[in-house]
Amino acid sequence: MRTVGVEEELLLLDAESGKPRALSAAVLAAARCEAAASVEVFEAELQREQLEFATRPQSRMEDLAAEVVRWRAEAARHAERSGCAVAALATSPLPVHPSLSTGERYRWMRERYGLTADEQLTCGCHVHVSVESDEEGVAVLDRIRGWLPVLLALSGNSPFWQGRDSGYASYRSRVWGRWPSAGPVEPFGSAARYHELVRSMIATGALRDPGMIYFDARLSYTYPTVEIRVADVCLDASSTALLATLVRALVETAARAWRDGEPPSAHSVALLRLATWRAAREGVDGRLVHPFTMEPAPAEAVVRALFDHVRDALEDNGDLLPAQDALAGLLKTGNGAQIQRDLLRRSGDLSEVVAACVRRTQN
């Protein structure tokens, strides 16, 4: 059974006002004074208002879900000791002027990308799924391209930007798309072609290193995994677990298709960009581009098409019934964007929205 690991980026916030706080160094110091070096799971990110953690690879989704809950709670505890709180929000609902983290790499990014780096306070969720080889990994990347927008729609958790409703379920993805290497890509065909493209992209001088290959899904440059990077950080830990479950099943389904000699779809990058835009705009509360027809269809129908597409892998992994229940719950309550907007309608105050999301992050 393939192992799965998750990286989540969290916002650091003032517990009372809900405004982001540039306290990542203090939170990391609080975490590291307790943990042995081998157990360090928290890291800094681009902006000092962010904190990232990574789970260990897990085979059982129950264990992965428990780790996500555990590290969110630990992040909250260390943040409280440092005078702030954490929230699983993909953008700050309240206005913010981000503070770039220190270090030579981040200085290079500011000099190279200017306002793109300065304004980039967004939090994503990256799911790593083990693969047997780079060849299998690239075959998977080629065969999951059309489904990645559906994952974005499910995870949409960034409706607000600088104190305003953006009109999007995932405005994070629109801000993230400013990076020169971000977004969907064409089929590669082989691991050799994938690696040659990465080398050529870095050789342009527009990117510093392989860590700046920001494709919606890529081969990890540090682990033997494919890394699906398209999603917002999810408000609820249960949604993170569902996302990871669907991603593992999607990877397994694509690998089986490759072994059976089934070719990948020939969707153009232009169409995939439009499908991604629609997913960002509407989330699960509108219409999405169906990967089979590349035409609009009700979001719930497209989400259920994804579920049907990976059903055999879910069943073989023992994940079918838990995933069914989790998906039904998400479609009933809505993704993070819908929950945030519902909170604002009830309270009329973005600070109250943030406070509710701080509490919900640890549930």
The string of pLDDT tens digits covering residues 187-245 is: 999 999 999 999 999 999 999 999 999 999 999 999 999 999 999 999 999 999 999 99
**pLDDT at site 38:** 39
- Is the pLDDT score of 135 beyond 70? yes
Q: How confident is the model at residue 39 (pLDDT cuts 50, 70, 90)?
A: low
Q: How confident is the model at residue 167 (pLDDT cuts 50, 70, 90)?
A: very high
- Is the pLDDT score of 259 beyond 90? yes
Mean pLDDT of all residues in 123-130: 98
**pLDDT at site 363:** 80
Q: How confident is the model at residue 362 (pLDDT cuts 50, 70, 90)?
A: confident
Q: How confident is the model at residue 35 (pLDDT cuts 50, 70, 90)?
A: low
Phi/psi-derived region of residue 22, left when phi > 0, alpha when psi is between -120 and 50, beta in every other case: beta
Residues 326-341 have pLDDT tens digits of 999 999 999 999 999 9
**pLDDT at site 37:** 46
C-alpha to C-alpha distances, 101 to 24, 87, 104, 212, nearest whole angstrom: 9, 19, 10, 16
Burial class (CB in 10 A: 0-12, 13-18, 19+), 237: buried
87 has which bridge partners? 11
Tokens of 169: 């379920």
Mean pLDDT of all residues in 180-193: 98
Q: Which domains does the chain have, with CATH numbers?
A: 4-361 (3.30.590.20)
CA distance 280 to 170: 5
Percentage of the chain modeled with pLDDT above 90: 96
How far does CA 302 lie from the centroid of its chain? 19
- Using alpha carbons only, give the angle 353, 354, 357 rounded to the nearest 5 degrees: 90
**pLDDT at site 215:** 98
- Is the pLDDT score of 274 beyond 60? yes
